[in-house]
Amino acid sequence: MSEDDTSRSGRFWSRPKSKWLIGIPLGGFIAFGLGAVALGTTNYILHATSSTEFCYACHSHEAFIKPEYEASSHFVNVSGVRAGCSDCHLPHDNWFELTWTKAVVSLDIIPEMMGKLDTAEKYESHRAEMAEAVWRQFKANDSKFCRHCHSVEAMDLEEQNRSVARRHSRAEERGETCIECHYGIVHELPEGADDIMEGIVAEFAPETADSVD
Ligand code: HEC
Ligand code: HEC
Ligand code: HEC
Ligand code: HEC
């Protein structure tokens, strides 16, 4: 039996016939090691760039973003759970999506340097288009960043006002998502927010087929 074992393990790892061939597994190990180091560094960067402090590097704007956020129920609440910028704005369930999003966010260094958002007036003039971009993203991904913390299953619907509980329990079957009822919970709303949201919801609604018989 032991003889059989040896031959089996012999088949599994046999010394390469040429000494050059040893370079293949060795190269594999080196590549693996370098990959691990690179991944560690990337993860370090991903982590560091997920903090609210990092977002504040550009979005600290004492006059607008910061006070709005810090006055919101997602900054201070009875439960003591704080949602940071990245909890609502970055994916957490998909490493590739996170890395890709970070790469795209880092391009914002260009408009930032050009001073696109450096005064409250400029910010206001872009707020509607920026908010719309976020709403579209949330409508498209079924408010998945909100669901990272909230879920209808975990809601004590009995404790909610009857009509609110009904809206929550029916939302799913009606194809409604959190953001279309709960916008402007952290940031102030741009002018015409309701119309913009209505337009997005209509756009996403399944075609009301005119040819249905
Ligand atoms: C290098 C500076 C910089 C950093 C760091 C930065 N942003 Fe931005 N961000 C900008 C600029 C500039 C814009 C406006 C971009 C545009 O519309 O062209 C923007 C736009 C946005 C928008 C509007 C949505 C959109 O797609 O236009 C959101 C949301 C946002 N940033 C969130 C964040 C979050 C969350 C962080 C931290 C993880 C962050 N940003 C870090 C500069 C930055
Ligand atoms: C990091 C976790 C987290 C994320 C992400 C999050 N929330 Fe919350 N949310 C909370 C906590 C904690 C409270 C406060 C609970 C309490 O009342 O003590 C809260 C409260 C609320 C409330 C009730 C208070 C109010 O301001 O009206 C609403 C509505 C709400 N969240 C909706 C959302 C929506 C919509 C999103 C996505 C845009 C979201 N939340 C993302 C944790 C989170
Ligand atoms: C059809 C509209 C609608 C949808 C969709 C909806 N909600 Fe609500 N929700 C309401 C209304 C109305 C209230 C009561 C007023 C308020 O707090 O804004 C409410 C209240 C809440 C509250 C506070 C509950 C309380 O009693 O304090 C939370 C938290 C909340 N919603 C989270 C969510 C989340 C998370 C989603 C997505 C899974 C969601 N809602 C989807 C309409 C909706
Ligand atoms: C609870 C979730 C939540 C948190 C926390 C949050 N945001 Fe937002 N953010 C949103 C939503 C939802 C929108 C879309 C507009 C709206 O509904 O107010 C938005 C919009 C924005 C916009 C577009 C312009 C605007 O004012 O609407 C920027 C920029 C932005 N967020 C940056 C940030 C930064 C920076 C932080 C941290 C300081 C942060 N957000 C924290 C949910 C959040």
Residue type, 136: R
Question: Tell me, what's the pLDDT at 106?
Answer: 79
Domain extents in the chain: 1-48, 60-204
* pTM of the entire predicted model: 0.86
Q: Does residue 167 register a pLDDT over 70?
A: yes
pLDDT, averaged across the chain: 83
Å from CA of 186 to ligand 4 middle: 6
In this structure, of 32-41, 76-85, 133-142, 182-191, the range with the lowest mean pLDDT score is 32-41
Question: Tell me, what's the pLDDT at 69?
Answer: 94
Å from CA of 156 to ligand 2 middle: 14
Å from CA of 97 to ligand 4 middle: 19
Residue with tokens 């050059």: 20
pLDDT band at 212 (very low <50, low <70, confident <90, very high): very low
Residue-level length of the chain: 213
What atom of ligand 4 comes closest to residue 84's alpha carbon? 5
pLDDT in tens, 131-154: 999 999 999 999 999 999 999 989
Q: Does residue 116 register a pLDDT over 90?
A: no
Å from CA of 8 to ligand 4 middle: 60
Structure tokens at 192: 């015409």
Nearest ligand to the C-alpha atom of residue 171: 3
DSSP conformation letters of the chain: -HHHHHHHHHHHS---SSGGGGHHHHHHHHHHHHHHHHHHHHHHHHHHTTSHHHHHHHHT-TTTHHHHHHTSTTTS-TT-----HHHHHS-SS-HHHHHHHHHHHHTTHHHHHTTTTSSHHHHHHHHHHHHHHHHHHHHHTTTHHHHTT--STTS-GGGS-HHHHHHHHHHTTTT--HHHHS-SSSSPPPTTHHHHHHHHHHHHSPP--TT--
Nearest-CA residue for ligand 1 atom 9 is 108
Question: Tell me, what's the pLDDT at 207?
Answer: 67
pLDDT in tens, 41-82: 777 677 777 788 888 888 877 778 899 999 999 999 999 999
Among 46, 50, 59, 100, the mutation site with the greatest number of ligand 1 atoms within 8 A of its Cβ is 59
- Higher pLDDT: 213 or 11? It is 11
The response to whether residue 128 sits with its C-beta less than 6 Å from ligand 4 reads: no
Question: Tell me, what's the pLDDT at 36?
Answer: 72
Question: Tell me, what's the pLDDT at 109?
Answer: 84
What atom of ligand 2 comes closest to residue 79's alpha carbon? 18
Q: Does residue 11 register a pLDDT over 70?
A: no
pLDDT band at 190 (very low <50, low <70, confident <90, very high): very high
Closest alpha carbon to 148 in 88, 76, 69? 88
